[in-house]
């Protein structure tokens, strides 16, 4: 038997927010002082480091559960399954439904339950729950679905990664430019085929010193509401941490799979920061005394930004739907999914298509 991804779907908002939109922002330092550089310089440096030229924001009437539902419908259709056969809906997110122009997150009932309701699934045996795991949430959901199916308590799982970051950013923090919105969904199910599907996985949580590298904090603008919190990150610490720990986790996962580095066709990595992702790949291949093969690491961050848990499933969907120029994944290819994010959590999964 094997456990395979049999359906994919995504929702990528149509509203494009280009870097020029940030030229009118009043960016501040953490202490509330004005940044010395002009916004043109700030935006240019941002694009040079992250690779982001534009990102997607959801329309005001759309919520995280809506985006999740749209992606889920596509994944179910793509898999060609009866939605009533789904045993688990695992929905990874971090902020719930944050309605436009509000400051409060809404997570009761859980977002997965809302999606099940929107899908009009009648079976009470379809268990719906949320997974809060930072950016690696969707991948951890796949790992959990894999465990459920292996244990014989499920045959089909719907795993979704969905995030609405545009509504939890501090507009006075230049890090806010990195974030975006989106959702990706996958159907994970039992297959009678052998020697393919999920081959190995690796997960680690680093919390002793690293737990608060990503957190909720006050606006850099001291005149704003003191009790309102926004997503904050220590970019330098995250960068240094990721470059050390993510390649190690990727190597441990690949070695566990029994596949060679030469067989690895694609690395579908969390779209966090172009320079950081490139450095992770370089260090990963260096562990095998190899150079990074051209085209092995597809990127969507240039146009879609960082949508946290949604980046990997949306990127995977784009590749499979032949919507990412110069990239394709074929039957029999060995690929690796990898992510790092708030917690600090890291995971990797080796998969044979």
pLDDT (tens digit per residue) in 158-170: 999 999 999 999 9
**Is residue 263 located within the same domain as residue 320?**
yes
Strands 15-18 and 88-92: unpaired
**Is residue 121 located within the same domain as residue 207?**
no
**Is residue 181 located within the same domain as residue 232?**
no
pLDDT (tens digit per residue) in 212-260: 999 999 999 988 877 788 999 998 999 999 999 999 999 999 999 999 9
Mean pLDDT, to the nearest integer, of 186-192? Answer: 95
- pLDDT at res. 92: 98
User: In this model, does residue 103 exceed pLDDT 80?
Assistant: no
pLDDT (tens digit per residue) in 17-68: 999 999 999 999 999 999 989 999 999 999 999 999 999 999 999 999 999 9
**Is residue 127 located within the same domain as residue 207?**
no
Half-sphere exposure of residue 221, counting CA atoms within 13 Å on the CB side?
14
Q: How many helices (H) and strands (E) does the chain have?
A: 8, 13
- pLDDT at res. 101: 85
Domain stops at, among 177, 194, 211: 194
Reported in sequence order, the residue ranges of the chain that DSSP labels E, i.e. its strands, are: 2-11, 15-18, 54-57, 88-92, 127-131, 156-164, 181-191, 197-205, 214-217, 230-233, 264-269, 334-341, 345-352
**Is residue 106 located within the same domain as residue 171?**
yes
User: Do 88 and 157 form a contact (C-beta atoms < 8 A)?
Assistant: yes
Domain stops at, among 151, 167, 194: 194
**Is residue 98 located within the same domain as residue 214?**
no
**Is residue 292 located within the same domain as residue 347?**
yes
* CATH number, domain with residue 15: 3.40.47.10
User: In this model, does residue 182 exceed pLDDT 80?
Assistant: yes
Domain stops at, among 150, 165, 194: 194
**Is residue 146 located within the same domain as residue 130?**
yes
Q: Which of 291, 302, 270 is nearest to 140 (CA)?
A: 270
Report how far residue 201's alpha carbon sits from residue 199's, in angstroms, rounded to the nearest whole number: 7
If residue 311 lies in a helix (H) or strand (E), which one and from where to where?
A: helix 311-320
Q: Which domain holds residue 143?
A: 2-194
**Is residue 31 located within the same domain as residue 169?**
yes
User: In this model, does residue 194 exceed pLDDT 90?
Assistant: no
Q: What is the number of other CB atoms lying within 10 angstroms of the CB of residue 122?
A: 9
- pLDDT at res. 227: 78
Whole-prediction pTM: 0.95
Report how far residue 173's alpha carbon sits from residue 155's, in angstroms, rounded to the nearest whole number: 45
Mean pLDDT, to the nearest integer, of 68-75? Answer: 98
**Is residue 17 located within the same domain as residue 76?**
yes
Share of the chain above pLDDT 90, in %: 92
pLDDT (tens digit per residue) in 258-314: 999 999 999 999 999 999 999 999 999 999 999 999 999 999 999 999 999 999 999
**Structural domain count, the chain:** 2
User: In this model, does residue 189 exceed pLDDT 80?
Assistant: yes
- pLDDT at res. 226: 79
Structure tokens at 70: 């749209």
**Is residue 157 located within the same domain as residue 209?**
no
Contacts 24+ apart (CB under 8 A), 227-230: 228/103, 230/168, 230/169, 230/170, 230/173, 230/176
The average confidence (pLDDT) of the chain is: 95
Res. 84 pLDDT band, cuts 50 70 90: very high
Task: Give the torsion sign (CA, 339, 345, 350, 353).
Answer: negative
Question: Which ranges of 136-234 does DSSP label H, i.e. alpha helix?
Answer: 137-150
**Is residue 155 located within the same domain as residue 282?**
no
Task: State in Å, rounded, how far the first CA of the chain is from the last one.
Answer: 14
Share of the chain above pLDDT 70, in %: 100
């Amino acid at each position: 038997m094997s456990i395979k991804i049999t359906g994919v779907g995504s929702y990528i908002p149509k509203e494009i927010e280009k870097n020029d939109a940030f030229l009118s922002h009043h960016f501040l330092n953490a202490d509330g002082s004005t940044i010395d550089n002009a916004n043109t310089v700030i935006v240019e440096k941002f694009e040079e480091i992250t690779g982001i030229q534009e990102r997607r924001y959801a329309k005001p009437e759309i919520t995280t559960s809506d985006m999740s539902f749209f992606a889920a419908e596509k994944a179910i259709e793509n898999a060609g399954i009866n939605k009533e056969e789904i045993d688990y809906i695992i929905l990874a997110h971090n902020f719930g439904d944050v309605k436009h122009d509000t400051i409060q997150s809404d997570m009761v009932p859980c977002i997965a339950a809302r999606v099940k309701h929107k899908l009009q699934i009648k079976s009470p045996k379809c268990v719906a729950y949320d997974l809060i795991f930072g950016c690696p949430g969707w991948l951890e959901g796949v790992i959990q679905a894999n465990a459920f199916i292996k244990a014989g308590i499920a045959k089909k799982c719907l795993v979704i990664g969905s995030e609405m970051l545009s509504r939890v950013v501090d507009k006075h923090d230049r890090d806010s430019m990195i974030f975006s919105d989106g959702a990706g969904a996958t159907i994970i199910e039992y297959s009678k085929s052998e020697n393919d599907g999920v081959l190995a996985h690796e997960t680690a949580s680093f919390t002793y010193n690293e737990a608060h590298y990503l957190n909720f904090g006050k606006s850099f603008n001291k005149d704003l509401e003191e009790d309102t919190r926004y997503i904050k990150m220590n970019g330098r610490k995250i960068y240094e941490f990721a470059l050390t720990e993510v390649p190690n986790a990727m190597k441990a996962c690949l070695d566990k799979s029994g596949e060679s580095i030469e067989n690895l066709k694609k690395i579908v990595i969390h779209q966090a920061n172009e320079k950081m992702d490139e450095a992770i790949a370089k260090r990963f291949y260096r562990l095998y005394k190899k150079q990074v093969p051209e085209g092995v690491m597809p990127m969507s961050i240039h146009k879609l930004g960082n949508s946290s848990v949604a980046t990997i499933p949306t990127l995977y969907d784009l590749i499979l739907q032949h919507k990412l120029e110069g990239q394709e994944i074929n039957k029999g290819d060995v690929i690796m999914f990898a992510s790092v994010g708030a917690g600090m959590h890291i995971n990797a999964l080796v998969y044979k298509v």
